[in-house]
Structure 1
Amino acid sequence: MKHWIKDQHFRSLLKNTSYLAISKAVAAVASLATLVFAGRGLGLAQFGLLILIVSYSQAASGLSRFQSWQIVIRYGGRLDSPEQQADFKTATGFAFALDVVSGLAGMIIAIALLPLIGGWFGLSGDNLTYAMLYCIILPTMAAATPNGVLRALDRFDLSSWQQTMTPIFRALLTIVAWSQSWSLSAYLLIWFVTDLGGDLYMWFLGWRELRRRDLLKGIKPTLRPTSLPGAWPFAIQVNLTSSLQSAWGPLARLIVGGLLGPASAALYRIAGSLADSAQKPADLLARAYYPELMRMDLTTKHPWKFMKRAMVASAIFAGLAIVLMLIGGKPLLGAAFGKEFIAAYAPLLILLGVPVLTIVSFPLPSTLYALDRPDVPLKARIIATLGYFAAIGPLAHYSGLQGAAFAFLLGNVLFVLVMAVYLRTEYRRVRGK
């Protein structure tokens, strides 16, 4: 593997991933502490209501917001010439306009729908009011444009630092809330303030980096990016794919809450969080992988070797995390959360299949985007979503939390299989084999 390190792109991938890994490790510890003290402070039922309220806003954000950072990377990933800098500025202005419009629209629609559908998720009375107020944060959630700017400018260190702020402050405030026996409304306020503060800080970092590099001049919000060929189709297809993906987790918790009650939603949230921790290495590599891939010529063999090396690196790190979770998951649940949360271990074992899939599949969407096939991940996500929603109702009815977890795993299997089939065809076309 020594010759791998000589590969400039692979070294850059490892460097940027290391920034993200350090921040994610800190964030993971802080997030776990947050869940532990919130679970102990509120109890299973109240904690479930907290999860449902926050999950609703996250689902609304995931479904409504454009993943505009993808646009910045796709059209502004190179800054070697004045023409490329102009494309970067246009892409940034387009991404910003999409963030503003979709954020405001998402907030209005989410608040309007809550009185109609909130009861199905177990939200009524004061809890319904809390959920509506929490949706005010939707216009700033995700902070996709500054995230894309920092990645395009190779400032993963800044975005990594920002990603530690929200979980750290939330953990500290949650410990205070637990020690003072604060109510559900206080915990919701903590989530709201830390979410808002973290998002605004990301916007500040993006603006500051643009100013430092003298790139602010010429960036104007626009919904007509005429100089970017295929920008709107790309934005729509990537948005639909990413929106379905990012909404899966929150929607799954809402569905579980509706079918099995708030306590089950809390257990599902705990199991999902622990399974996600095993998936983090692959997620981190995926974030650093896409910008690096956009700097390569996909007609050569280099990017395909790069993809295989990234998969191997992911397998090494994520495999260790999965083994640790299998061995220590049950004792961790009992020691950290209490005996009533041990029931989350059974769905956790099933959900650990998702990081196994992610280890071998995380380069697939980025590679298809680089090949100008954003339609493929969208098709795969639609098929996976239909399969997931068709399965979760009957499986949750007959097998409870384990059934809901298996439906989630089944959807991810469908997603990976469809992309793998298409990518094999694209590889043969590009490489002439």
Structure 2
Amino acid sequence: MNKGVAMPGTSEKSVLRSRVKSVLHLLTGNLGNALVMIGSIAFATRALGPEAFGVLALTLAVGRVCERVVRFESWQPLVRYAATEEGASDPERMSRLYLFGLLLDAVGAVVAALLTVLAGFILTSFFDFPPEMVPLVAIYAIAIALNLRGMSSAVLRMAGMFRTMAYIVFLAGLLRLLLAAIFYWMGSGLMTFVWVWTICQVVDALIYNFIGFRQLARQGTPSPFRARMGNLHKDFPGFLGFAFTTNASSALRTITHEADTLIVGALTDSTEAAGFYHIAKRMAKVAMSSGEMIQMVVYPDLARMWAGKITESFRRTVVGVQGLLAVILGGVILVTIVVGKPIIALAFGSAFTPAYAILVAQLFAVFLIMHSAPSRSALLAMNRPQYALGASACSTAVFLAIAINTIPAYGAIGASFAHIGFGAVNAIMLDVAMWRSLRRASASQVAPEAS
């Protein structure tokens, strides 16, 4: 059995101890990655200035929006289906399952790259976006086309290799920091920094896949490249539906998590405002990434627990993760309020201090969004992706309604106000659905025992 993989028979304390160690590894790697990310952005802001850095932020936002809208997060259905396939001990079937995910990754990446180029042309031709974005977006589309990480990510998650995942991200971030420093000292311009971000994302995806395929070989699963392709849809019924539903949820979250930078640029008519917002959001994402990494640790276990009908452990895991996230994010908010402004001025320059207020508001939104993350994982483990999609749709509608009214009135911080509304609605809807499902599951398990 792979180290770090919790099975239904494992004691709750040993599972918790193992997961705490995984979380600490991930948080350590995430902290290191956060520091190098901030360092990379610091070199970029000082090399480019507020206006040109705003163009860089908009360029990256175009690529990320198109990628999130089209790309299948194949690791989510793969983790759920692999959890149910583990007991069968059929390496050939498991290889075909991973092939299914890899095909989704490839199709999504190619379509996303083409959409990125098209979106760059449309935004600069028909909207008031800087025309120099067209070649920059085309360069970044290379990274989108080669970002095939979903299948490998699922392999590493199922194997419990969370420490490895954390340090892969750190290595790519370190490369970006080194390149940003070199080109800062060389006095390079905007296009060079777009190439830096592009190259580092490609390296990150290549490392992910190298380690993912090596892990498959270690556990005796044949390479998906040699697996039989025919009848995948029939052999894994429901997989595509699950993938499309989670992709739709991801596309809706894209409007709030990535397209928000473009919305700020459009409604404020200022590349500088987009740059300020990008800095605040990237710093807030440090806390958000910590929550996402904790979520990725527990999601495979939740899938196994639900499949094994271990309802009480399932409930305790969700509650424990939500409590841990509340402590972490509460501490981050307090520290940011006290020292956030001087840190921004020191790292990025005094011209970027308007990002401070945006950052504080954004962290309150992250607190709410991360509270709902374990509930969302629980609903996916329960095979209720449709409800998660519905919650995302309602929350996104609230976000847009607030953003359209607050960004023109208050500037970039209006997008953070919209995120707070999004987070509150999403948390309430997901928590209510999860607890109802748990009560029904507990009642159904008690009924046969009583009879």
TM-score normalised according to structure 2 size: 0.90
Residues 1:391 and 2:402 are matched in the alignment: yes
Residues 1:208 and 2:214 are matched in the alignment: yes
Q: What is the CA distance between 1:14 and its match in structure 2?
A: 1.2
Residues 1:335 and 2:361 are matched in the alignment: no
- Percent identical pairs in the alignment equals 24
Q: Is the 8 A contact 2:139 2:198 kept in 1?
A: no
- C-alpha distance in structure 1 between counterparts of 2:351 and 2:142, whole Å: 33
- C-alpha distance in structure 2 between counterparts of 1:121 and 1:32, whole Å: 30
Provide closer, same or farther for how the CA distance between residues 139 and 223 of structure 1 changes in structure 2, counting only shifts above 3 A: farther
Bigger mean CA deviation after superposition, 66-75 or 153-162: 153-162
Residues 1:371 and 2:382 are matched in the alignment: yes
Q: What is the CA distance between 1:80 and its match in structure 2?
A: 4.6
Which of 84, 87, 94 aligns to 1:88? It is 94
Aligned to 1:158: 164
Instruction: State the SS of the aligned residue for 1:352.
Output: helix
Q: Which runs of 5+ in 1 are unaligned?
A: none
Aligned to 1:287: 296
Q: Is the 8 A contact 2:95 2:221 kept in 1?
A: yes
Provide closer, same or farther for how the CA distance between residues 246 and 160 of structure 1 changes in structure 2, counting only shifts above 3 A: farther
Query: Where does 1:14-163 land on structure 2 (aligned, <5 Å)?
Result: 14-77=20-83, 80-83=86-89, 85-119=91-125, 122-141=128-147, 143-163=149-169
- C-alpha distance in structure 2 between counterparts of 1:307 and 1:298, whole Å: 15
Aligned to 2:3: none
- C-alpha distance in structure 2 between counterparts of 1:113 and 1:283, whole Å: 28
Provide closer, same or farther for how the CA distance between residues 337 and 120 of structure 1 changes in structure 2, counting only shifts above 3 A: farther
Match of 2:356, as an amino acid? Y
Q: What is the CA distance between 1:402 and its match in structure 2?
A: 2.0
Deviations for 1:54-109, whole angstroms, at most 9, x for unmatched residues? 11111111111000011220111366544464553232111101011111122223
Instruction: State the SS of the aligned residue for 2:99.
Output: helix
Aligned to 1:183: 189
Q: Is the 8 A contact 2:91 2:220 kept in 1?
A: no
Q: Is the 8 A contact 1:107 1:138 kept in 2?
A: yes
Q: Is the 8 A contact 2:364 2:420 kept in 1?
A: yes
Aligned to 1:301: 312
Q: Is the 8 A contact 2:142 2:198 kept in 1?
A: no
- C-alpha distance in structure 1 between counterparts of 2:126 and 2:417, whole Å: 22
Provide closer, same or farther for how the CA distance between residues 421 and 247 of structure 1 changes in structure 2, counting only shifts above 3 A: same
Match of 2:391, as an amino acid? A
- C-alpha distance in structure 2 between counterparts of 1:116 and 1:319, whole Å: 41
- C-alpha distance in structure 1 between counterparts of 2:229 and 2:128, whole Å: 40
Aligned to 1:240: 248
Instruction: State the SS of the aligned residue for 1:432.
Output: helix
- C-alpha distance in structure 2 between counterparts of 1:399 and 1:124, whole Å: 23
Match of 1:212, as an amino acid? R
Provide closer, same or farther for how the CA distance between residues 86 and 304 of structure 1 changes in structure 2, counting only shifts above 3 A: farther
Q: Is the 8 A contact 1:326 1:349 kept in 2?
A: yes
Instruction: State the SS of the aligned residue for 2:220.
Output: coil
Match of 1:393, as an amino acid? I
Q: Is the 8 A contact 2:30 2:290 kept in 1?
A: no
Provide closer, same or farther for how the CA distance between residues 268 and 95 of structure 1 changes in structure 2, counting only shifts above 3 A: same
Q: Is the 8 A contact 2:109 2:148 kept in 1?
A: no
Q: Is the 8 A contact 2:368 2:420 kept in 1?
A: no
Q: What is the CA distance between 1:139 and its match in structure 2?
A: 2.2
Which of 143, 165, 176 aligns to 1:170? It is 176
TM-score normalised according to structure 1 size: 0.93
Q: What is the CA distance between 1:430 and its match in structure 2?
A: 0.9
Q: Which runs of 5+ in 2 are unaligned?
A: 1-10, 445-451
Provide closer, same or farther for how the CA distance between residues 66 and 222 of structure 1 changes in structure 2, counting only shifts above 3 A: farther
Instruction: State the SS of the aligned residue for 2:353.
Output: helix
Aligned length: 429
Q: Is the 8 A contact 2:91 2:222 kept in 1?
A: no
Q: Is the 8 A contact 1:69 1:95 kept in 2?
A: yes
Which of 251, 259, 267 aligns to 2:259? It is 251
- C-alpha distance in structure 2 between counterparts of 1:405 and 1:223, whole Å: 46
Residues 1:219 and 2:230 are matched in the alignment: no
Aligned to 1:429: 440
Instruction: State the SS of the aligned residue for 2:236.
Output: coil
- C-alpha distance in structure 1 between counterparts of 2:93 and 2:81, whole Å: 6
Q: What is the CA distance between 1:113 and its match in structure 2?
A: 3.4
Match of 2:242, as an amino acid? F
Q: Is the 8 A contact 2:372 2:426 kept in 1?
A: no
Provide closer, same or farther for how the CA distance between residues 337 and 421 of structure 1 changes in structure 2, counting only shifts above 3 A: same
Q: Is the 8 A contact 1:98 1:223 kept in 2?
A: no
Residues 1:322 and 2:330 are matched in the alignment: no
Q: Is the 8 A contact 1:69 1:147 kept in 2?
A: yes
Instruction: State the SS of the aligned residue for 1:301.
Output: helix
Match of 1:266, as an amino acid? G
- C-alpha distance in structure 2 between counterparts of 1:362 and 1:147, whole Å: 18
Provide closer, same or farther for how the CA distance between residues 196 and 32 of structure 1 changes in structure 2, counting only shifts above 3 A: same
- C-alpha distance in structure 1 between counterparts of 2:135 and 2:15, whole Å: 50
